[in-house]
Structure 1
Amino acid sequence: MTIEQPLYEKTLQRDVDFIRGKVTEMYELDHRALSEAIDSFKACNRQQAYSIILRDERIDELEKEIDRLCLEFLVRQQPVALHLRFAYVTIKINQELERIGDYAESVARQVLKISTVTRQPPLDLFEAIANLSISMLESAVKSYLEEDADLARQTMEIEEETNNLRDQINTEMYELHKEKKIPFKSLTPLLTIGRRFERVADQAKNLCEEVLYMCTGEYAKHQGKEVWRILFVDDHNSCRTQMAEGIGNAIGLPKLLFRSAGLEPKEMVDSTIRYMESKNIDISRQSSLSTDHIPNLDHFHIIIALSKRARKLFPKPPGKTICLDWHIDDPSAKEGTDDQIQSAYEETYNLIHTNIQDLGEAILGTQID
C-alpha cells in the first residue's frame, strides 16, 4: 500500500522536529556547562566545577541517542535533498556539540587545579573569550534550528576574534609568570582554559559550515588554503621541541602551522632561549605545554617525536595522522665547556632546520629559499 504524500510529509516533519528537539537539549546542556565553567573559574568554586564534570555524562548519552535517531531516520524515511542533508549534518553537528561539552568539562578540571592558588590572574580576557565563544555557539545553533544560512555566515566571521583573545591570554599569562605574579603550576591550566574557549568558537564555526551545506548544498569546509598542522613532541617541551616550533614558524612556510608539547612539561631552559635569540628567533613567549592539554590530537596532520619516549603518543593504526621519528639529543643536557655546549645547540638547530625545510618542500611541492 502506498503511503499518501501528505501523511509521509507529516511523519517526516515529526521525526525532524523530534531530532531537533534532542539537539536543542544537548545545546542547552553545553550552554549551561560553559556558562558555569567560566563562573566557577571566576569564583574558584570547586563544587560547581565538580557538577560540570558529573553532568558531562548526560551529554555523552545524548550524543549516542541523536546518532541512533538520525540513522533510524535515514532508514525509515529514505530522505532526499534537504532532508538527507539535514540527517547528515545533524550527525556532524552532534559530534561538534559533544566536543564542546568535553571542553567545558576540561575547563572545570583546570579550575580544580588552580582553585587553591592564592595568586589569581586578571579575569577580563577570560570573560571576554568565554562570552564571545558562548555567543557564537548560540548563533550557530540558532542558524541550524532555523535553517538560516545568512546567520551562519555572519557567525563564522566572529571566530578570528577568539583567536586574537587566546593569543592575548597567552601573552599576558606568560608575562605574569615571568614577573612571578602567578606560579608555574597555574600557567598551563590558565593557558588551557583560554584554548578551550577558543576551541568552542572553532566548533561553533564548524557547526556553521555544516549549516551552510544543509541549506545550500555547498560544502564550505576547507575552502581556500589547506593548513597542515604539525606537532613536535618530546619529554619536557623545554628545549628541542621549543626550538623546532620556533624554527618552523620563523621559516614562514605557507600553509604550515607548528605547535609543540611534552609528555611531562618543564619550564623552558634559559640557555635555549638565549641560543635562539642568537639566531634572531624569539621563543621567550612560547609556553611549555603538556600533551594532555593539546585538544584533539587527531586534528594534527603530522606528529613528530624528537625523543624515544615521545613515540608512545603516536596514534595506533589505522589513522590519518602521519607519525615521524626525528630522535635528536637534547643539547640542554650536554655537559662540557661552553664551546662544547654551544656546538651541541648548533648541531641540533641545523638538524631541525634541515628536517623542517625538507618536510615543508615535500608538502608544498616547491623549493624553499
Structure 2
Amino acid sequence: MSHLEERLENDLNKIRNRVEKQAELVEAAVTNAVHALQTGNAKLAYATVLNDLPINRTMREIDQICHKFIAIHLPSGGHLRLLSSVIRVNMELERIGDYAVTIAQEAAQLSKPPEGNMARELERMASETQLMLRQSIRAFNDLNAEMGRSTKLLADQMENNLDSIYTEMMSNQDRGKVKDILAVFVVFTQLKRVADQAKNLCEDAIFASTGEQKAPKVYKVLFIDEDNGCKSQMAEAIARRNYPDSGEYLSAGRQPAASLNPNLVSFLENRGQNLSNVQPSSLADLTERAISDQYVIVSLEGEVSSYLPEIPFHCTVLDWDMGPVPEAGDEQGFENLYRAISLQVKDLMELLRGEGAS
C-alpha cells in the first residue's frame, strides 16, 4: 500500500470512528428521552436537551472533515459511495438527535408519565424504534448490507399507525388532560420519525456496501364513488395500465352495483383492457387498516368525507368532480370521461413520483 493509499485509509477510518461515536451519542439521547418520559424524570429530560449541543457540534465537524477528505483525496468508486453515505448519515443522526430533544421537552412538560393504553403503546413503539435504530447503526458501522435489509423489514412490520392513538386522543372528554395527551401524541410522531431515519440509515449501509440504490416509493391509491361500477373502476384501470410501477391501486363504492357498467367494459376492451372478471367492490368490505394504509384516497363522485366518517390521519384526500356517467351508446362521452380521468391520474402520479412516472 502506497503512502497516499495508507493516508486515505487512515483518514477514512477517522471519519468512520467519529460517526460511530456520534451514533452512540444519538442512540443514548433517544434512550434517555424515552426513559425521562416514562418515569417523569424532568432532570434527565433537561439534560438530554442540553446534551444535543455536542451532537450538533460534532455534526458540523464531521461535515467539514468529509468535505476536506473529498478535496484532498478526490475519492472514487467505493470510497466515494462511502463518503456520500457518511454525509447523509451525519444529517440523519443529527435529525434523530433533534427528535430526542422534542421528546425530552415534552417529557419535562408532562404533569405525570403516560398511563394505561397510552403507556403500553409508548412502550411497544419505543422498544421497536430503539431496536431498529440500534441495528441500523450497527449495519452502517459494519457496512453490513444484509443487516440493513433485514432491519428495513422491521420498519414495514412495525405497527406505527398513529390513527388509533389520534382517535383515542380526540375522544377523550377530560379537557384537563388534553395538554398531556397532545404531548404524548407529539412523542409518538417523533418516535415514528426516528424509525424513518433508522430506515434511511439502513439504505445508506446498503448503498455504501453494494452501491444498490434505494428503490422508488410505491404509493397506495384508492378510488371511490357511489357504486364502483364505472368512474372509479376506470380510474383504477387507467392507473394500473399507465403507472404499474408507481403505485398499488384499489377502487370501491358506497353501494356497489351488481355488475360493471357494460358500456365501460366494452369501451375499455376496445383499448386493450379486459375487465370481464372484475366485479364492483364495497367500501365497507375494506378493513380500517386497509383504508388507513392508503397514501391518497380519491373520490370521483362527491367529497371523500361523505364516504368515510373519519379521514385516516396519514391519508391525503382528493375530490375529482367527473360529472355524470355517460349514457349508453355515448361513445364520445366515455372518451371525454376517459381523457379527463387520465389527465387527473397523470397529474397525481407525476406529483407523487415525478416526471417520467411509470
Choose the corresponding residue for 1:61, options 57, 70, 79.
Answer: 57
**Matched letter for residue 212 of structure 1:** I
Kept in 2, the 8 Å contact 1:136–1:155? The answer is: yes
Check whether the contact 1:126–1:194 (CA below 8 A) recurs between aligned residues. Answer: yes
Letter aligned with residue 307 of structure 2: N
Cα displacement (A) at 1:121: 4.5
CA distance in 2: counterparts of 1:93 and 1:285, whole angstroms: 31
Residues 56 and 105, structure 1, Cα contact 8 Å, conserved in 2: yes
Aligned to 1:186: 180
Alpha-carbon distance, 1:161 to partner? 3.4
Question: What's 2:40 paired with?
Answer: 44
Separation of aligned partners in 2, 1:148 and 1:21: 16
**For residues 294-325 of structure 1, what are the alpha-carbon distances to aligned partners after superposition, in whole Å with 9 as ceiling and x for unaligned?**
xxxxxxxx9xxxxxxxxxxxxxxxxxxxxxxx
Percent of counterpart pairs with the same letter?
Answer: 26
Counterpart-to-counterpart distance in 2, 1:250 and 1:128:
22
Rg comparison, structure with higher value: 2
Counterparts of residues 190-229 of structure 1 (less than 5 Å): 190-225=184-219
**CA shift for structure 1 position 164:** 3.2
Does structure 2 retain, via aligned residues, the 8 Å contact 1:162–1:198? no
What is the CA deviation profile of residues 181-237 of structure 1, one whole-angstrom value per residue up to 9, with x for unaligned ones?
97222222111111111111100101111111111112114254568xxxxxxxxxx
Q: Which amino acid aligns with 1:200?
A: V
Verify the 8 A CA contact 1:139 1:155 in the aligned structure 2.
Answer: yes
Q: 2:123 aligns with which of 127, 131, 154?
A: 127
Return 5+ residue gaps in structure 1 as ranges: 228-248, 259-275, 288-301, 303-348
* 1:121-172 deviation per Cα after TM superposition (whole angstroms, max 9, x unaligned): 5412111111111111111111111111000000000012334364444344
Cα deviation code 1:9-45 (max 9, x no counterpart): 3212211111111111111111111111111111111
What is the DSSP-based 3-state SS (H/G/I as helix, E as strand, rest coil) of the residue aligned with 2:158?
helix
Give runs of aligned pairs for residues 344-355 of structure 1, distance below 5 A: 353-354=319-320
Amino acid in structure 1 at the alignment position of 2:319: H
1:283 to 296, 301, 310: 310
Separation of aligned partners in 2, 1:79 and 1:118: 50
CA distance in 1, matches of 2:108, 2:163: 23
| Structure-1 separation of matches of 2:70 and 2:149 | 28
Q: How many residues align?
A: 260
**Which deviates more, 116-125 or 155-164?**
116-125
RMSD of equivalent CA atoms: 3.7
- 8 Å CA contact retained: 2:139, 2:145: yes
Letter aligned with residue 353 of structure 1: D
Q: Tell me, in whole angstroms, the C-alpha distance in 2 between the residues paired with 1:137 and 1:88.
A: 20
SS of the residue corresponding to residue 184 of structure 2 reads helix
Cα gap change, 1:161/1:193 in structure 2, threshold over 3 Å: closer, same or farther? farther
Deviations 1:50-89 (A, max 9, x none): 1111111111111111111111111111212111111110
Give the alignment's TM-score, normalised by structure 2. Answer: 0.63
For structure 2, the residue ranges without an aligned partner over 5 or more in a row are: 220-245, 248-288, 323-340, 352-358
Distance in 1 of aligned mates of 2:193 and 2:129: 8
Mapped to 2, the partners of 1:39 and 1:118 lie a distance apart of 10
1:362 counterpart (347, 350, 358): 347
Q: Could you say which residue in structure 1 is the equivalent of 2:14?
A: 18
Q: What does residue range 1-369 of structure 1 map to in structure 2 within 5 Å? A: 5-114=1-110, 116-117=111-112, 120-122=115-117, 123-164=119-160, 166-175=162-171, 177-178=172-173, 180=174, 183-225=177-219, 256=296, 279-283=306-310, 353-354=319-320, 362-364=347-349
Whole-Å separation in 2 of the counterparts to 1:30 and 1:252: 31
Q: Give 3-state SS (helix, strand or coil) of 1:222's partner.
A: coil
TM-score, reference length from structure 1: 0.61
Change (3 A) 1:144 1:151: same
Query: Structure 2 vs 1, CA of residues 74 and 184 (structure 1 numbering), >3 Å: closer, same or farther?
Result: same
SS of 1:219's partner is: coil
Q: Distance in 2 between matches of 1:59 and 1:355?
A: 50
The question of whether the paired residues in 2 share the 8 Å contact of 1:120 and 1:182 is answered with: no
